[in-house]
Amino acid sequence: MTAASLTGGFTAAPQQSAQAFRAILEAMARPGTIHLVAGASPPPPLSVAAGVALLTLADATTPLHLAGAADCAEVRNWIAFHIGAPLVAAGAADFALGTWDALQPVTDFRIGTPDYPDRSATLIVEVDRLAAHGACLTGPGIETVSWLSLPETTAFRANRAQFPLGFDCLFTCGARFAGLPRSTRVEAI
């Protein structure tokens, strides 16, 4: 544990987490829209948006899976101090954090059970590029159609096919992020 692990959290948690949650809610409720957040400065390789999402949603009651480069000592220490989430394997996680490649195979994550579809994982996916063009999205939260740069489409189509089961995704890139709930139909164009 170094002094750096003790900094980078919210300075006014109630207000900052409320603002962050509203942005996350809008992102999840309107897939394809890109939102800005601020307030956290987690250690690299975590993006600001990923740090904000963890501070807002994760706590000691939510098992967290760190994948790939995100699973380093600095990040573990930062999470231990600011969030306290138990770090677990992919199959036991409520939240998972990493790049899309590091999170593979995504079929390992919990998708809920037919009677409790809410008992599923939320993936916080770090991406290099986040733009409102790419794969074509339709479904709840989208009036006609929207677009989002996704790392691939096959996995999300398979995820949608399991509805109401499935995992939900939050794509983070710097201070920006977008949501992709399991209810969204994804088409490659």
Partner 1 sequence: MSDYNFAYLDEQTKRMIRRAILKGIAVPGYQVPFASREMPMPYGWGTGGVQVTAACLVPEDRLKVIDQGADDTTNAVSIRKFFQRTAGVAVTEATTEATIIQTRHRIPETPLTEGQILVYQVPIPEPLRFLEPRETETRKMHELEEYGLMHVKLYEDIARHGQIATAYAYPVKVEGRYVMDPSPIPRFDNPKLSGNCAIQLFGAGREQRIYALPPFTKVVSLDFDDHPFHASKAPHDCDLCGAKHSYLDEVITDDAGGRMFVCSDTDFCSGRRTAGHIGRLGTDPAHSRPHPSPTNAEGGSLPPRGERMGVGAHRQVGSA
Contact residues: partner 1, CB under 8 A:
13-15, 17-19, 21-22, 24-26, 28-30, 56-59, 61-62, 94, 114-118, 120, 122, 139-143, 163-164, 166, 168, 181-183
Give the span between the Cα atoms of 157 and 161, in whole angstroms.
6
Give the span between the Cα atoms of 100 and 114, in whole angstroms.
26
Q: Which of 73, 145 has the CB closer to partner 1? A: 145
Q: Which of 3, 55 has the CB closer to partner 1? A: 55
Rounded to the nearest whole angstrom, what is the least distance from the CB of residue 172 to partner 1 in the complex?
15
Question: Which among 177, 184, 181 has a CA at the least distance from the CA of 22?
Answer: 177
Rounded to the nearest whole angstrom, what is the least distance from the CB of residue 177 to partner 1 in the complex?
13
Q: Are 74 and 5 in contact (CB under 8 A)?
A: yes
Q: Which of 44, 164 has the CB closer to partner 1? A: 164
Rounded to the nearest whole angstrom, what is the least distance from the CB of residue 16 to partner 1 in the complex?
10
Long-range Cβ pairs for the range 152-159 (8 Å, 24+): 152/100, 153/186, 153/187, 153/188, 155/106, 156/180, 156/184, 156/186, 157/185, 157/186, 157/187, 159/106, 159/111
Rounded to the nearest whole angstrom, what is the least distance from the CB of residue 2 to partner 1 in the complex?
25
Q: If you ran DSSP here, which 8-state letter would residue 110 be given?
A: -
Rounded to the nearest whole angstrom, what is the least distance from the CB of residue 106 to partner 1 in the complex?
15
Q: Which of 105, 118 has the CB closer to partner 1? A: 118
Q: Which of 27, 135 has the CB closer to partner 1? A: 27
